[in-house]
Amino acid sequence: MNTRTETGQLQFADDWPGIFIRGDDALCYASVLKRLFAKAEKQAKASPETFEANDWIKLQNLAVLLDSCRVNSDGHQQEIERD
């Protein structure tokens, strides 16, 4: 396979379409989410009534999933750092 698959919708045969996120894009999204988490955490401490725990957990899980695309210099998957 010599073509680069870009981030976007991907569908195999008649299966449900899904989303493919390239590792470089995933790492960028993970970084943005982490920055937003830090800001949201400050806001949640200031106004706990606006904190939605289930939404927070889902977004954190997404960030971990996106960050799992990280590889070491030798090309092997890097251990995921969990908060």
| Contact in structure between 56 and 39 (CB atoms under 8 Å) | no
Distance CA 41, CA 39 (A): 5
Q: Residue 60, Cβ neighbours under 10 Å: how many?
A: 15
**DSSP label at 82?**
-
Using pLDDT thresholds of 50, 70 and 90, give the confidence band for residue 75.
low
State if pTM tops 0.75.
no
Q: What is the dihedral sign for C-alpha 55, 58, 64, 65? A: negative
Give residue-wise pLDDT tens across range 12-29.
Answer: 888 888 889 999 988 888
What are the φ/ψ torsions at residue 3 (nearest 5 degrees)? -95, 145
